[in-house]
Structure 1
């Protein structure tokens, strides 16, 4: 390891120690989001602690993707009649992170692309999970949130080290590596591990910590192994669909077999996702602003 790489890794580790403390309002909102079967009124009251979050959720509820001509002016209506309880929980989680980690100083960070990747992964996981008996113990909102949080470490880097992450974006194109590969190569650990540090510091539900901590561990044998396999499938699927590349069934076959997921279902979903990309793009734009 040369001195420059070592210094970069040390800088990264020191920066992680400076992760912001989660505000009290956000703590209460996250507690509500992660309360199973919480009444809509109690969730609405918790979300109302953040005017910015309410404004963003109402913007989503009134977007063409959801509203279908209706005008939604209060958060309870948005939850009950438009977005639904599970989706509001997942979107609120993503919006909290987006607000706390301002990545505008990172020149190469494309917030819209980040969120459409995250949203497509989350939607894919939620839809495909219905085909997998081993995942019945996980709620749809949990699976959706797991997909949204996979790449949270990139947001952290964009906030803490904007110049370093911009350099990684440039180098990944030059070296023809994925951003994830370039982060691991330059920083000595993956963005999944960085995301895990954040979730651990903020005491978010253990499930999400386990998913990020073990995402790259193909030998993991815990209760979450089937969900991890599904998320790997969905992250690869989202990258392929968004770039408009043709689906190569061989890239998905082994993971699908492992969790008894019909490969045909993945290919069908890929077509559906491609058709819905314009609507997903609008949703990602609202979330990324």
Structure 2
């Protein structure tokens, strides 16, 4: 990673008020970031948070998975429906989400936030299949990278609700890009702020690096291929959710560096459009407090 937490000029004084994680949440985060953890061990640690278990069971029974039969215990949900890698990623997102009460930021739509995050994660995971440039990253790392990409927005909605609210109102009326306006007003992007959060909570360095370097188009480190993929996936997600145009430059870079075809990208766009309603139902459960 190029740099460290101290290298970002933290003009946003409220960042010192980032909440500490409860002990149970710390144990859960450690478990989901243990590569070879067993289902039984993971289940026992996730059970430290009944609210998290209830949320995961809700996800297993949601329209997104459309199993038919009701799943009533977490081990079955992991083994038969969600899968170990997906549970790890979803548990990570849920644990982080519950730390932030975003209700004071009236314009912040938690369900839409998680819908776009999930669509980004799914897009990245689908596009990564068979890409030799991404062989150094597991499918769950790709998915989690997409899920955490905009986690700084949650922190802002919690720490600076009035300021973020005014930015969202202004951008809604003017058509300005929210991310660009955040960077203009605060002096750093929400990706950089997300990096500070992940750094404080000591999440794996791969996710810290993705956020720290997201805006550096000339970054040439180990995570470059994954950054290229996530930039494309983020645009696909925005296109599906709000009709935002997909930047041709982002597509061109991804097609060149990852050897992606436009047909592969079009297939993912088609899948996202067909499954958005189911993803929205998943996001509604993830965004609950």
* Common fold: TM-score over 0.5: yes
How many corresponding residue pairs? 280
Q: Deviations over 1:136-161 (max 9, x none)?
A: 12111111000000000000000111
Report the equivalent of 2:88.
89
1:199 equivalent in alignment to 2:198: yes
Report the equivalent of 2:229.
230
State the shift of 1:11 in Å: 9.3
Whether the 8 Å contact between 1:152 and 1:195 is mirrored in structure 2 is yes
Structure 2 CA distance for aligned equivalents of residues 236 and 124 of structure 1 = 10
Whether the 8 Å contact between 2:231 and 2:250 is mirrored in structure 1 is no
State the shift of 1:269 in Å: 0.7
Q: Deviations over 1:14-54 (max 9, x none)?
A: 11011111111111111110111211001101111111100
- 112-121 or 259-268, larger mean C-alpha shift: 259-268
State the shift of 1:244 in Å: 4.1
Whether the 8 Å contact between 1:253 and 1:263 is mirrored in structure 2 is no
Structure 2 CA distance for aligned equivalents of residues 149 and 247 of structure 1 = 21
Structure 1 CA distance for aligned equivalents of residues 10 and 126 of structure 2 = 40
State the shift of 1:67 in Å: 4.4
TM-score (norm 1): 0.93
- 274-283 or 251-260, larger mean C-alpha shift: 251-260
Report the equivalent of 2:26.
27
Report the equivalent of 1:3.
none
Distance 1:211 1:128, change over 3 A: same
Distance 1:251 1:163, change over 3 A: same
State the shift of 1:105 in Å: 1.1
TM-score (norm 2): 0.93
Report the equivalent of 1:6.
none
Distance 1:196 1:247, change over 3 A: closer
Q: Unaligned stretches of 5+ in structure 2? A: 1-8
Q: Deviations over 1:202-234 (max 9, x none)?
A: 111000000000000011111110000000000
Whether the 8 Å contact between 2:235 and 2:246 is mirrored in structure 1 is no
Report the equivalent of 1:5.
none
Report the equivalent of 1:58.
57
Whether the 8 Å contact between 1:15 and 1:160 is mirrored in structure 2 is yes
Whether the 8 Å contact between 1:90 and 1:145 is mirrored in structure 2 is yes
Report the equivalent of 2:287.
288
Which structure is richer in relative contact order (CA contacts within 8 A, separation 6 or more)? 2
Distance 1:246 1:13, change over 3 A: closer
Report the equivalent of 2:17.
18
Distance 1:105 1:11, change over 3 A: farther
State the shift of 1:243 in Å: 2.2
Structure 1 CA distance for aligned equivalents of residues 219 and 99 of structure 2 = 31
Structure 1 CA distance for aligned equivalents of residues 86 and 161 of structure 2 = 30
**What does residue range 164-243 of structure 1 map to in structure 2 within 5 Å?**
164-243=163-242
Q: Deviations over 1:54-83 (max 9, x none)?
A: 010011111122242111111111100111
Could you list the structure 1 runs, at least 4 aligned residues long, displaced by more than 6 angstroms after superposition.
none
Report the equivalent of 1:7.
none
Q: How well do the aligned residues superpose, as a CA RMSD in angstroms?
A: 1.6
Q: Unaligned stretches of 5+ in structure 1? A: 1-9
- 132-141 or 148-157, larger mean C-alpha shift: 132-141
State the shift of 1:13 in Å: 2.0
